[in-house]
A and B are shown apart, each in its own frame.
Chain A
Amino acid sequence: MSEWTRSASMMPELLSALLSGALTTIEITFFSFILATVIGAALAIVQSFPATLPRAVIRVYVEVMRGTPVLTQLFVLYFGLAQIGIKLDPIPVAILGFGINGGALLTEVFRAGLQSVHVGQSEAAFMLGMSRLKALRYVLLPQAMRVVIPPLANYGVGLLKETALASAVAAPELSFYARNLVTKTYLSGPIYVMAATIYIAMSFPLSRLAQHLELRASRGRRAP
């Protein structure tokens, strides 16, 4: 019996196991995307203020995150923190790890977005009596989003695939399940094809959404 026919008979079990892994993949992707976006926007806003110390700290954070592999960062969170008595479960570790890593990337994205808004816009906002925060919220950020949305959407698509690394800290996501099933059944071909199909089924709608948002942003209103 070839591995394909054997796997056909085991299809229901394999599929339900892989799909429950896919749910975890979605969970990790969703929450780390939110975390990364919040970190990125917040730090870019802090960077837009003149205070130099917070800016230096943020630069160090961004450089460290960009200069080390995500896998290493996950290990540090998982094993490193455990050594000093902080034991986190794999899923929170994955969410935190990808969130903090993506936060650094998105700090740069939001910073570029804010810098793309003409300085006259903040001056006009200030002359209406707005504080820096109000100017950011009502004038600068809405305009920065035109520049931010395309890379943000692409980051989301990339993140979905990148979460496969979380299997290294035993987060029970799609790749983790796939590998475990292969170890148990030796059906490596069919199982990895099924896993790949599920990844595509999840990422295709996301990348279509990204394309749509990108198109809309590029058509968006420009400063006259």
Chain B
Amino acid sequence: MGTHAKGLLKRFCGRKDLNWPPGMTANDLQGLANAPPLITVSNLCKSFGGQPALDNVSLTVAAGERVALIGSSGSGKTTLLRCVAHLEKPTSGEVIVAGRHVGDRIVDGRKIVMLDRQLAEIRTGIGMVFQRFNLFPHLTALENIMLGPLKVLRMKRDEIEPFALELLKKVGLAHKAGAYPEHLSGGQQQRVAIARSLAMRPKLMLFDEATSALDPELVAEVLEVMRQLAAEGMTMLIVTHEMAFAEDVADRIVVMDHGTIVDQGRPADLIANPRHPRTLALLRPKRAANLRSAS
């Protein structure tokens, strides 16, 4: 990291509303074991037109932890992620991110509405990477990355541009600063989208099947960037179908089925000791099939 970026980092860290953990060490992680979790989801229910998509889901994610969410299509992974970001309004239950309640809540029977401004403030600390990238097509890669810092953090262009260029370099796209999204491959777009989130210095990154919309040969380059982020200590909640990646990178794998969490644990434990048939089917599809046909 260049000296300029380090200066920026200090500036950001100085902001009392954005005290995420930069470059955490194992010792820090020990200390965080006692600290309140970064995400607390309690008894979350969400239904769409009476159809439950999430059924009483509770989950905590500690700062610095990497959690992979797996489960078959329609099991509620996206909905859970979107509820954490409040892009989806829960039907009931509670979401707390970095100590702040997300969304409206009822205290003593009175409804306390969360203002647009407060929600925006919480989301400033949450990065989200979408399956369909959602880059802004009217802006270049560099402008995509700078938009948040310029308009939300109100930084000056010459303050943020070196940092934005550094992020582009970090995702291997320094040479694409001036390119519009339509001139980038899917893998390149997704890497710009990750850099765009990182430019806000989030405490937490949410990934919703970041590689599912990509051609197979472009998957690795995006996973590599995510792997690097994990190595730097970023707190990540990752929805993925890339089982090898999940086993490799995640501290914990959470298995969802029909809107509930059916199993979770450290990858090695989960593979050695799956408690739910879904876990086995997802993590070791071939073995599960063999077992079925043998029985």
Contacts and interface: CB of A to CB of B under 8 A. Distances in A.
Nearest to B115: A131
Nearest to B126: A127
B182 A222 contact: yes
Contact of B137 (A128, A129, A221): A221
A222 B137 contact: yes
B138 interface: yes
Given A127-B85, A130-B152, A221-B182, A121 B134 contact: yes
Q: How large is the interface on A (under 10, 10 to 19, 20 to 34, 35 or more residues)?
A: 20 to 34
Nearest to B121: A129
B132 A120 contact: yes
B232 to A, nearest CB: 20
B138 A128 contact: no
Nearest to A220: B138
Secondary structure call for the A interface? helix
A130 B130 CA distance: 17
Given A127-B85, A128-B147, A132-B116, A143 B182 contact: no
A224 B124 contact: no
B153 to A, nearest CB: 8
Q: How large is the interface on B (under 10, 10 to 19, 20 to 34, 35 or more residues)?
A: 35 or more
A127 B180 contact: no
A159 B126 CA distance: 47
B132 to A, nearest CB: 6
Interface in B115-164: 116-117, 119-121, 123-128, 130, 132-138, 147-148, 151-153
Given A121-B134, A139-B147, A224-B137, 12 more contacts: A118-B134, A126-B123, A127-B87, A128-B152, A128-B197, A130-B120, A130-B151, A130-B152, A143-B137, A143-B138, A221-B181, A224-B133
Interface of B: 85, 87, 116-117, 119-121, 123-128, 130, 132-138, 147-148, 151-153, 180-182, 184, 189, 193, 196-197, 200
29 contacts: A118-B134, A123-B87, A124-B130, A124-B193, A126-B87, A126-B119, A127-B87, A128-B123, A128-B147, A128-B196, A128-B197, A129-B120, A129-B121, A129-B123, A129-B124, A129-B148, A129-B152, A129-B200, A130-B148, A131-B116, A132-B116, A134-B152, A138-B151, A143-B136, A221-B138, A221-B181, A223-B137, A224-B133, A224-B137
